[in-house]
A and B are shown apart, each in its own frame.
Chain A
């Protein structure tokens, strides 16, 4: 390892850490009027208002592709899928605005989305 290696790795680590903390800050900042959006190919196929009390299980099934999404105890997780890589099932459950679970082979995404952010912008325009 040479000096330039250490500099390069240091920069990548610092950028990664700063981005990670900034992201967490933004994500935990806005916790009002959250929604869970389940999308396939970018199109919303199901949405639920998301609170601590939400208790829903959604089964996506199309063309022999299956994903089971569970919303419970203030956490959203992909509890089952028949995709080949199983990355979505192993992804940690999400609970903050802007977080996402992706099933790439099925093009299914589950994201937490805040209406508040959109409302704020609309209010600003109205004012």
Chain B
């Protein structure tokens, strides 16, 4: 009896470990795909934010601690495989800030806001985090003149990311992987 519950506990722990790993791997691939997409000329620095799909799903399904692990692992592993120290700083600041903002909004407005709204807020936070690091890196605050256009672009990209995350969460809940 005791042996049985213990092995069940280990099994669910292993499941969680695998699930987090899968999310990290998906996030890494999406970051990689993102880096191959063309950049729009009218908004330097604007991106779709594909990796935010995974962050959003992680916040929604997992605990805050586990979601933080997903984001940190993705950022560190992506930088060490595809990137450099500076790309690590950008994705770290953007990734962590958007994680914090999205988790906070989901907690405060739970049930009163959909994934699209959370995702748009996350996109805005992501841009701000990256601009802060960029301003420090190049010693030039004029880079903040890009913020208005990035805010505007964050709305459609955030809606897109939120919509995809919603579909992904739907599938994840159907397969009952986590329980």
On A, residues with C-beta under 8 Å from B are 1-5, 8-9, 12-13, 15-17, 19-20, 23, 39, 41-43, 85-88, 90-92, 98-100, 102, 104-105, 107-109, 111
A99 and B116 form a contact (CB under 8 A): no
Number of A-B contacts (CB under 8 A): 101
Closest A residue to B117 by CB, please name it: A5
Min Cβ gap A60→B in Å is 13
A20-B148 in contact (CB<8A) = yes
Which of B39, B114, B147 sits near A90, CB closer than 8 Å?
Answer: B39
User: How far, in Å, is A63 (CB) from chain B's closest CB?
Assistant: 14
Question: In the complex, what residue of chain B is closest to A42 when comparing beta carbons?
Answer: B139
Q: Is A4 touching B117 in the complex (CB atoms < 8 A)?
A: yes
* B138 close to A (CB within 8 Å): yes
On chain A, the residues within 8 Å of B142 by CB distance are: 98, 100, 109, 111
Is the Cβ of A12 less than 8 Å from the Cβ of B124?
Answer: yes
A to B CB contacts below 8 Å, 19 in the list: A1-B117, A5-B114, A5-B116, A5-B117, A9-B158, A13-B152, A16-B150, A41-B139, A42-B138, A43-B139, A87-B45, A92-B41, A98-B142, A98-B145, A100-B140, A100-B143, A102-B143, A107-B138, A109-B138
A-side contacts of B116, CB under 8 Å: 1, 5, 9
Q: Among B45, B86, B140, B154, which residue has its beta carbon within 8 angstroms of that of A12? A: B154
